[in-house]
Chains A and B, each alone.
Chain A
Amino acid sequence: MNATIGRLLLTRLVAAILTLWFVATVVFVITNLLPGDVAQELLGQSATPEAVAGLRKALGLDLPPWQRYLEWLWKMVQGDAGRSLVNGSPVAALIGSRLGNSLILAGITALVAVPVALVLGITAAVHRGSVYDRVVGAGTVLAVSVPEFLVASAAVLVFAVQLRWVPALSQLGRLETVLDVVRTFALPVLTLTFVIVAQMARMTRAALVDVLSSSYIEMARLKGAGQARIVVWHALPNAIGPIANAIAFSLSFLLGGVIIVETIFNYPGIAKLMVDGVSTRDLPLVQACAMLFCGAYLLLVTMADVAAILANPRLRHR
């Protein structure tokens, strides 16, 4: 650790915080531009204007926007996401009940997808130009291009309807044996893995191909180093930065971007919660979810940046 690294890491951290603040502002503005009014939505078509006005006052919706913004921002900083406008329970509790589910799904998917992607990317790079490389290349393009609802539907059709190996819907209630866990998560994890592996594998391949065509790899080969040693000892340490970035980018999708998968498998995750919040005009919930997704994204990307900085010998050893 030295001063340069410290300064770089600090810059990344400050940049992340500033980005988060910027996003918070955008989220607040956009959610307030959403058409419709929560008071109207809650009271229904037959509500009198007086009743709507009263509810608006009670919910604090009559205050000027900048005042609501500052108040909201200050509470967010303290970790208080406010109360749901729809049922009055704390947003934190609503999110908390779902966040665990989402993290489990994301975690299992990451555990499956990252190794698969790395193995695919590394082997394709090592056998660049071979039939295997071309099959992996075409396969990953195909996987990226197929919409996830199609993958999910096809998976349900094959594994749930035809083969009857797993249930079509995820039932988180009964998770007693390992088999239960596998049966519950198999389809959503399969679908999500299908979606995110492609990007990671392609980026890993690209980063590694780049490194493998450098002079020092040729030199290692001419010193008599075997393929395994060349990849693990010589090439990978120099490809950590771009690979970490690709992984972070793909994993960040697993929290907020999985709405279709959650809907199809009726999985009680956080993306579904946010969409429900939008349809009921529950602004605090929507804002909190948006901030959560952004925070997770920034966390992952910043971690990848830190990994890249720490992996760079020019920065580590001045």
Chain B
Amino acid sequence: MEPLIDIRDLRIRARTAEGQDIEIVKGVSFSVRRGEVMGLIGESGSGKTTIALATMGYARYGCRIAGGTIRIGDIAVTSLDEKGLQQLRGQKIAYIAQSAAASFNPSRPIMAQVIESALIHGLMGEAAAREKAISLFRAMAIPQPETIGNRYPHQVSGGQLQRLMAAMALITDPDVVIFDEPTTALDVTTQIEVLKAFKEAIRDRNTTGIYVTHDLAVIAQIADSITVLRHGEVQEIATTSQLISNPRHEYSQKLLAAAEPALRPSPVTDRQARPLLRVSGMSAGYGLTGKDGMPAVPVLRDIDLTIGRGRALGVIGESGCGKSTLARVIAGLTPASRGTVTLDGIDLAPGIAGRSREQLREIQLVFQMADTALNPKVTIDEIIGRPLTFFFGMKGAARDRRVRELLDLTRLPATVQHRFPGDLSGGQKQRVNFARALAAQPKLLLCDEVTSALDTVVAAAILDLMAELRRELGLTTMFISHDLKTIRAICDDIMVLYSGRVVETMPAAALETGRHHPYAGLLLGSVPALRTDWLESTEAASLQVQGVPPALSSGGCAFFPRCTLAEPGRCNTEVPPFRDYPGGIGAACFRLAAE
């Protein structure tokens, strides 16, 4: 059968900020048959999005398609003029972007944007287009399909917007749909709903697709075959099951290994290790503190946790659950409004102003974005050396020697010492970020999403580094992440946060076994597994409650509106108490207690 999409020797050039003209896509060829989905996988800079956009004859500002041919059916995209491209886009081939929140125009109602391409191309009247949009909303299981189109983008949640964008792409019944990391910006529990909706839409319409992602487990659910890209070149093209079970190219094997991070052995296996950090009854938030001692915008409520000496606690939860605030409270950057933070038996003042220099030294924070955490105008030597001078008064040769030791400890070449952060790769910058924190010789290291901004292969190396540091320095760490696989790989204990409360704590080994809090269960079931039939077999998506949840009274369980096991009249009125269960699991749930 003739392929529907045929890309031959595609070359794309870009002009850099320095005015250099470089090739970013270097002769890529692949083809996709009608009704099939091709996955494009690779890390940042692999050119996967650039290639996907080129399929629509589009190159971003500063880029241009410099050579090769792109055919869609009998249309030669590369030889179309502007008018021809306009007719192609939105009609024959449609695009679903990474961030729906950014891809909807904030000034226009959703419906007007969803039906726009149908009207531009004159495919149907406005009334017919609206009707079709509403039927698409229904098919995508979007709540309130009749009226949601009247809303503005900021009035709709991220997961719903992503599905609305899919409806926007499908309104013209395009032959080809480009999916550009459409679930990357979503929480894992939302991602699963959106993936299901996409998969059904593709199957029902026999859509041909190009699906761009960096996540092998996600693409395994959707794609028929996969093209592995690196630095603008094809490494391997294989069917999905072939790639997952038997990757041929060395780089594919690396990607596969990084997708399922191996467990790093823990140096401290004793769960009863003497506690280093203890947080009790802590509440915190932002804004002015009210009469009841709670801030105007509470983020964390009644948090209790302990971390044993040398152990690693993983904190997991979806965006906005308060996990970053937790690290900031412990570090003193956001003072707690209630409760205590105790380090090594000594109560710490809520804010950094009240803590001694020694106490500041003992807790160090490693931020997610090394790009923003490192001053771009200062050399690596100065970044790592400053805490040495500040905490230990080191100068001259002694400081120089210690900086080189720290570079060595974080597996950085000594040559980076006198360079600037901008000269380093993302992974190297994150290592510098670690070296800077380690320079203070902290007792407790708080790591806030330290691998989230990194490509999977680079992130795996950072996890190895962390495991090494724990082993060599006996560091106690708190590891914050939204990614359960990462947490599982590096931590001894796991704490699940939901809406600012601890809903469950457990030893990492109990993750796959034992009874869990419904939210922890949902989280666990939502992480895509690296096999092609996971999406069909998982039950996590069906756990989602559709429609409008009943009002949550202030005293109830925060998870009540989404919980399938909830008991109305109890779960929404009383805060469930935290109890211990077999296997070292602690959870706050009435249903769990009843069983």
Q: Do A and B bind each other?
A: yes
Using a CB–CB cutoff of 8 Å, the interface residues on chain A facing chain B are 128-129, 213-216, 218-226, 229, 233-234, 237-238, 311, 313-314, 317-318
Closest residue on chain B to residue A215 by CB atoms: B102
Q: For the complex, what is the distance from the CA of A218 to the CA of B180, rounded to whole Å?
A: 13
Given A215-B97, A224-B91, A224-B117, A238:B86 Cβ within 8 A:
no
* Chain B neighbourhood of A216, CB < 8 A: 102-106
List chain A residues, Cβ under 8 A from B60. 218
The dominant DSSP class at the A interface is helix
A219 to B168, CA, bound (A): 10
B87 contacts A by Cβ under 8 Å: yes
**A224, B121: Cβ atoms closer than 8 Å:** yes
Asked if A314 meets B120 with Cβ closer than 8 Å, knowing A213-B61, A216-B102, A224-B86, the reply is no
Residue in B closest to A129 when the chains form the complex, CB atoms: B61
The answer to whether A223 touches B120, judged by C-beta atoms less than 8 angstroms apart, is: yes
B95 contacts partner chain A, Cβ-Cβ < 8 Å: yes
Enumerate B90-117 residues with CB–CB distance to A below 8 Å: 90-91, 94-95, 97, 99, 102-108, 116-117
Residues in chain B near residue A226, CB distance under 8 A: 86, 120
Q: How far is the CB of A110 from chain B (nearest CB, A)?
A: 26
> What range describes how many residues of B lie at the interface?
20 to 34
Whether the pair A317, B117 counts as a contact (CB closer than 8 A) is: no
Question: Across the interface, which residues of A come within 8 angstroms of B117, CB to CB?
Answer: 223-225
Flag B111-135 by CB within 8 Å of A: 1 or 0 each: 0000011001100000000000000
Contacting pair A219 B106 (CB below 8 A): no
B152 an interface residue at 8 Å Cβ cutoff?
Answer: yes
Chain B nearest CB, measured from A135 CB (Å): 20
Please name all residues of chain A whose beta carbon is closer than 8 Å to the beta carbon of B168 when the two chains form the complex. 223
How far in angstroms is the closest Cβ of chain A from B182? 12
Q: How far is the CB of B327 from chain A (nearest CB, A)?
A: 29
Instruction: Tell me the minimal C-beta distance from A158 to chain B in angstroms.
Output: 39
Contact partners of B53 in chain A: CB under 8 A: 222
Chain B contacts of A218 at CB under 8 A? 58, 60, 97, 103
CB contact under 8 A between A223 and B116, given known A313-B154, A317-B155: yes
CB-CB nearest in chain B for A222: B95
Closest 9 CB pairs of A and B: A224-B90, A223-B90, A215-B102, A237-B107, A223-B117, A224-B89, A222-B95, A216-B105, A219-B103
Chain B residues within 8 Å of A318, by CB? 155
Point out the residues of chain A lying under 8 angstroms from B152, CB to CB.
Answer: 313-314, 317
* Complex Cα spacing A238 to B87, Å: 26
Q: A215-B99, A215-B102 are in contact. Are A222 and B107 (CB under 8 A)?
A: no
CB neighbours of B136 from chain A (8 A): none
Separation of A151 and B56 alpha carbons in the complex (Å): 49
Given contacts A213-B61, A223-B120, A224-B91, contact A237 B86 (CB under 8 A): no
What is the distance, in angstroms, from B540's C-beta to the closest C-beta of chain A?
29
Q: B579 on the interface (CB 8 Å rule)?
A: no
Given contacts A215-B97, A225-B117, 13 further A-B contacts (CB under 8 A): A216-B104, A218-B60, A220-B116, A222-B94, A223-B95, A223-B120, A224-B89, A225-B86, A313-B106, A313-B108, A313-B154, A314-B152, A317-B154
Residues in chain B within 8 A of chain A (CB atoms): 53, 56, 58, 60-61, 86-91, 94-95, 97, 99, 102-108, 116-117, 120-121, 151-152, 154-155, 168
> Contacts of A214 on B, CB cut-off 8 Å?
102
Contacts of A311 in B (CB 8 A): 107
- A129, A225, A317: the one contacting B151 at CB < 8 Å is A317
Complex Cα–Cα for A302 and B330 (A)? 44
Across the interface, which residues of B come within 8 angstroms of A238, CB to CB?
Answer: 105-107
Instruction: Report the separation of the CA atoms of residues A318 and B154 in the bound assembly, to the nearest whole angstrom.
Output: 9
Nearest Cβ on chain A to B124's Cβ, whole angstroms: 15
6 A-B residue contacts at CB 8 Å? A218-B97, A221-B58, A222-B56, A223-B120, A238-B107, A318-B155
In the complex, A311 Cα to B105 Cα: how many Å? 13
B116 in complex: contacting residue of A128, A129, A213, A225, CB < 8 Å: A225
Whether B61 pairs with A313 at a CB distance below 8 angstroms is: no
- In the bound complex, how far is the Cα of B109 from the Cα of A237, in angstroms? 13
Question: Does B120 lie within 8 Å of A224, measured CB to CB?
Answer: yes
- Whether the Cβ atoms of B89 and A222 lie closer than 8 Å is yes
Which of B56, B88, B89, B94 lies at the interface centre, i.e. has the most chain A CB atoms within 10 A of its CB?
A: B89
| Least distance between A309 CB and chain B CB atoms (Å) | 14
Contact of B155 with A223 in the complex, beta carbons under 8 Å: no
Bound together, the chains give a CA A218 to CA B90 distance in angstroms of 12
CB-based contact A313/B107 at 8 Å:
yes
A114 to B342, CA, bound (A): 63
Residues of B within 8 A of A221 (CB): 58, 89
B105 touches A220 (CB 8 A): yes
The answer for the CA separation of A59 and B275 in the assembled complex, in Å, is 83
Do A223 and B89 have beta carbons less than 8 Å apart?
yes
Whole-angstrom distance between the Cβ of A227 and the nearest chain B Cβ: 9
For A313, list chain B residues within 8 Å (CB): 106-108, 152, 154
Task: Please judge, given known A-B contacts A216-B104, A237-B108, A314-B106, whether A222 and B58 are in contact too, CB under 8 Å.
Answer: yes
Contact, CB under 8 Å: A234 / B105: yes
Question: Once the chains are docked, how many angstroms separate the CA of A238 from the CA of B90?
Answer: 23
Chain A residue at smallest Cβ distance from B86? A224
Partner of A222, one of B90, B99, B151: B90
- The closest CB in chain B to the CB of A217 belongs to B105
CB of B105 within 8 A of CB of A224, answer no
By CB atoms of chain A within 10 A, which of B91, B105, B106, B152 has the most? Answer: B105
Cβ contacts under 8 Å, B95 to chain A: 219, 222-223
Give the complex CA separation of A215 and B104 in angstroms.
8
Q: Give the shortest distance, in Å, between B87 (CB) and chain A (any CB).
A: 7
Chain A min CB distance to B80 (Å): 12
Complex CA gap A208/B6 in Å reads 36
Within the complex, the shortest CB–CB distance from B376 to chain A, in Å, comes to 22
Cα-based distance from A113 to B155 in the complex (angstroms): 38
Contacts of A220 in B (CB 8 A): 105, 116
B residues less than 8 Å from A224 (CB atoms):
86-91, 117, 120-121
Chain B residue at minimal CB-CB distance from A236:
B107
**Chain A residue with Cβ nearest B91:** A224
How far apart are B173's CB and chain A's nearest CB, in angstroms?
A: 14
Distance in Å from the Cβ of A228 to the closest Cβ of chain B?
Answer: 11
Name the CB-closest residue of A to B85. Answer: A224
Closest-CB distance, A58 to chain B (whole angstroms): 56
Note all chain A residues with C-beta closer than 8 A to B106. 216, 238, 313-314
CB closest residue in chain B, given A212: B61
Inter-subunit contact B97/A219 (CB<8 Å) = yes
Q: Which residues of A contact B105 (CB under 8 A)?
A: 216, 220, 234, 237-238
